[in-house]
Amino acid sequence: MDKKIYLDNAATTQTRLEVVEAMLPYFNEKYGNPSSVYEFASQSKKAVTEARDTIAKAINASSNEIYFTGGGSESDNWALKCTAEAYKEKGNHIITSKIEHHAILHTCEYLEKNGFEITYLDVDENGSVNLEQLKAAIRPTTILISIMFANNEIGTIQPIKEIGEIAKANGILFHTDAVQAFAQVEIDVNELNIDMLSASGHKINGPKGIGFLYIRTGLKLRSLIHGGAQERRRRAGTENVPGIVGFGKAVEIAMATLKERQETEIALRDYMIDRVLAEIPYTRLNGDRRNRLPNNMNFSFQFIEGESLLIMLDMQGICGSSGSACTSGSLDPSHVLLAIGLPHEIAHGSLRLTLSHDTTKEDLDYTIEKVKEIVAKLREMSPLYEDFLKKHSR
C-alpha cells in the first residue's frame, strides 16, 4: 500500500523541509554553545535570539517573556507546579477543566497529592466551559486558572477572552495550554489577559522536543529544571539550538500563512463534515460546529468500535486517531468525549481526523469513501446494529 493520507496532525505534524534546512547548520557547522564567549558561539546565540523574537511577536509578547522548554508537556508542568509553589502563601486552590490534556490533568493530580485543591470544571455538550460555573468556583484561596485554548480531541475553542477578564478581575493568574491553538488561530496575550501560555514545536510543522512557556513579566515563577543560568536563570540546560531555530522557522511560516491556511482548512473541514453527516447515518459531530480549530473533525459512528475503524483505515493508507494518542492502547474511552456527555458505547465509536496545510480535497474525497465503506462493513458485523434494526423494523 503506497498511498498515505496523513490526517493525524493533532498528534504531530510533518516537519517542513524549510524548517529542516534552517536547522541543519546548527548541528554540524554552527554547533557552538550559546553561553560560550568566543565569536564562533555567538552565531548560535544570535540564532536563538532571532527565534525568540519571532515567537514573541506571534503572540504580542516581549522576547524576554519567552522561555524555551523541552515541549508542551514541560511547559504545562512548569506553569502549574511552579505557580503552585510560588503562590502557596496566597492559597492552595487551582481551577481547570475536565477536558484538559493529560500534561495538565496528571500534573493536577500530582498537586492534589501535595496539598493543593483542584476544581475540574464541567463542559457543555460542545466542550465549552461555563463562565458562570467558573465564577462560582473562585475562592479567596484561588491562585490559578488553567484552561486550554483549544481542545486537542474535539477542537473546541474556549472563551479565552472572557476567562482572562474573570481571572484579572479577581486577581488570579491565568495559564492556557495553547499547544493546539498557537499559530493556528490569532493569539494576543495582552488583549486576552493571558499570564502564561504553553506551546510546542511539533504541532505546527516544527521539530519535536522543543516548546516554550510564555511568562508575563512580574510573575514570581521559579525554575522547574535547575542547573545552569540559561533562559535568564529560569530554565537550565544547554539550549536546543537546532530545535529552537526550527521552531522559529516554523512559527515564521505559520504566521505568514495563517489567514490563507485558516480559509483553506475551514473550507475543507466543513466540506467533509457536511458530507459525512449527510452520507453516513447515525453519525454525530463532536465539538462545536463553528467555534473549533480550522483543522479538526471528530465524529462518532454509532454501533461500531473506533479502534476497528482505525485499523481498517490504516489498511487503506489513512492515518487517523480514535481519541488522543496518549490513551490509545487503553480501553477507556476518551475523558473528553465522556465529559461532553457521550455514553461509553458512542464514545468508543469515535474518529478524529485533523488536516494540515497540504491536505487536498482529493485526500478527503478518498477518505470519505473509505470511511463510508468501512463503517457500513463494521455495522454489518455488529450485534448492536442488528438489535437496533430488529427493534426498529417491528
Ligand X SMILES: *Cc1c(COP(=O)(O)O)cnc(C)c1O
Q: Which is nearer to ligand X, 72 or 164 (CB)?
A: 72
CB of 139 to ligand X, least distance (A): 26
Q: Which residue is nearest to ligand X (CB)?
A: 72
CB of 326 to ligand X, least distance (A): 8
CB of 72 to ligand X, least distance (A): 2
Sign of the Cα torsion 56, 60, 62, 67 reads negative
CB of 21 to ligand X, least distance (A): 22
In sequence order, the β-bridge partners of residue 174 are: 145
Q: Which is nearer to ligand X, 76 or 252 (CB)?
A: 76
Torsion of CA 176, 178, 181, 185, to 10 degrees: 60
DSSP output for 266-292 = HHHHHHHHHHHHHHSSSEEE-S-SSSB
Residues at the contact surface with ligand X, assessed by CB under 6 A:
71-73, 76, 101, 103, 148, 152, 177, 179-180, 200, 202-203, 211
CB of 175 to ligand X, least distance (A): 12
Q: Which residue matches cell numbers 548541528?
A: 27
Torsion of CA 297, 180, 263, 195, to 10 degrees: 140
Sign of the Cα torsion 153, 159, 161, 166 reads negative
Query: Which residues are within 8 A (CB) of 226 and not within 5 positions of it... i.e. 6 or more apart?
Result: 236
Q: Which is nearer to ligand X, 211 or 287 (CB)?
A: 211
CB of 347 to ligand X, least distance (A): 19
Q: Which is nearer to ligand X, 66 or 371 (CB)?
A: 66
Residue of 363, 359, 353, 364 whose CA lies nearest to 10: 353
Query: Which residues are within 8 A (CB) of 20 and not within 5 positions of it... i.e. 6 or more apart?
Result: 246
Q: Which residues of 287-304 are buried (b: 16+ CB within 10 A; e: fewer)?
A: bbeeebbbbbbbbbbbbb
The DSSP symbol for 41 reads H
Element of type H or E holding 146: strand 142-146
Q: Which is nearer to ligand X, 265 or 276 (CB)?
A: 265
Kindly give the pairing relationship between strand 318-319 and strand 283-285: unpaired
Q: Which is nearer to ligand X, 76 or 379 (CB)?
A: 76
**Which residues belong to the active site?**
326
